[in-house]
Amino acid sequence: MMHIHWKSRQGRQRISNNDAAAIAISQVSTIAMVIDVAETGLNGQSLAKHWATTIVQKSFALPHPITAEQMIEIMRHEQRKLRHHYLHDVASYSIVCIDHESNHLDVLSTGDCLVGLGGKSETPRWISHPQNVGHQYYSMPSVSVDQRANGRHLLTNSLNARRFDMPYTTSLSLLPDVAVLLSSDGYWVEHLQSGSNFDELDDDASILTLTPGSRGVDSDTDCENLLILTPA
């Protein structure tokens, strides 16, 4: 059993909320994605829902146990189709696959969405890292604070129509009562790191929390961007 908590807000400097989450749950596994589409293109909301729904649904249709390599091949195949409708759109995403029988967790991330472990009342322990210039700058003492801040918005890996960027992957064994969190950068940078009020952020901000042990859905969002999928 898994409890789903979704919290999402449009940023004050954004035209629309281009974050989305999709999730599919069965007795043997859970697959969930959070995606954050930049406003550089014309179809942010559409791409967010399309990519999250397509990848989660196709991955969930695979025979159990589902592997990271299988999900990557699905994403590689679907990325080739993006040029038909999403040529100028760019996004970040994180997807997780939880095997309920073994408590094995696979994490795949591209861009600056992060995956963490913890709970609603504590700061997450992030197990992925942002793929942007700002993160690379932290290992360079000569780089200024302003340069690091500006580098946050320059992705080194992304979802885009021109090429397939291989996601960062990691895996681990989950303790039985540990929650898994998927966050867009607006949430973990502006809200958690900078301490800004959640309802007063400039960027779209979203957090998906998956807590084992109970079943239910709590959604606190300003648009229809939580997609709970029924297994085919």
Q: pTM for the full model?
A: 0.91
Strand 114-118 relative to strand 179-183, pairing: antiparallel
Report pLDDT for 204: 95
Average pLDDT over residues 92-108: 97
Of 29-33, 111-115, 122-126, the one with minimum mean pLDDT is: 122-126
pLDDT over 50 at 135, yes or no: no
Q: How confident is the model at residue 127 (pLDDT cuts 50, 70, 90)?
A: very high
Is residue 191 within 8 A of residue 184, CB to CB? The reply is no
pLDDT over 80 at 175, yes or no: yes
pLDDT digits (tens, 9 = 90+) for 182-213: 999 999 999 988 899 999 999 999 999 999 98
pLDDT over 50 at 136, yes or no: no
For residue 146, report the phi and psi dihedrals to the nearest 5 degrees: -65, -40
pLDDT over 70 at 139, yes or no: no
Report pLDDT for 119: 64
Is residue 83 within 8 A of residue 161, CB to CB? The reply is yes
Number of CB atoms found within 10 A of residue 79's CB: 19
pLDDT over 60 at 144, yes or no: no
Average pLDDT over residues 40-54: 92
Report pLDDT for 218: 95
CA distance 185 to 168: 16
Average pLDDT over residues 145-173: 81
Average pLDDT over residues 159-174: 96
Block residue for tokens 């596994």: 29
Q: Which of 74 and 149 is assigned the larger pLDDT?
A: 74
Q: Find residue 96's DSSP bridge partners.
A: 32, 107
Output the six-digit token pair for 142: 């000569």
Output the six-digit token pair for 150: 């500006």
Is residue 33 within 8 A of residue 22, CB to CB? The reply is yes
Q: Which of 174, 206, 179 has its CA nearest to residue 192?
A: 206
Q: How confident is the model at residue 133 (pLDDT cuts 50, 70, 90)?
A: low
Q: Which of 185, 176, 77, 205 has its CA nearest to residue 128?
A: 185
Q: How confident is the model at residue 214 (pLDDT cuts 50, 70, 90)?
A: confident
CA distance 50 to 98: 22
| Domain boundaries, given as residue ranges, for the chain | 2-228
CA distance 104 to 76: 23
pLDDT over 90 at 220, yes or no: yes
Q: How confident is the model at residue 137 (pLDDT cuts 50, 70, 90)?
A: very low
Beta-carbon contacts of 193 under 8 Å, excluding residues fewer than 6 positions away, are: none
Block residue for tokens 């993006």: 82
CA distance 26 to 71: 17
pLDDT over 90 at 63, yes or no: yes
Instruction: Give the H/E segment covering residue 20.
Output: strand 19-25
Strand 2-9 relative to strand 216-221, pairing: parallel
CATH 3.60.40.10 at 2-228, yes or no: yes
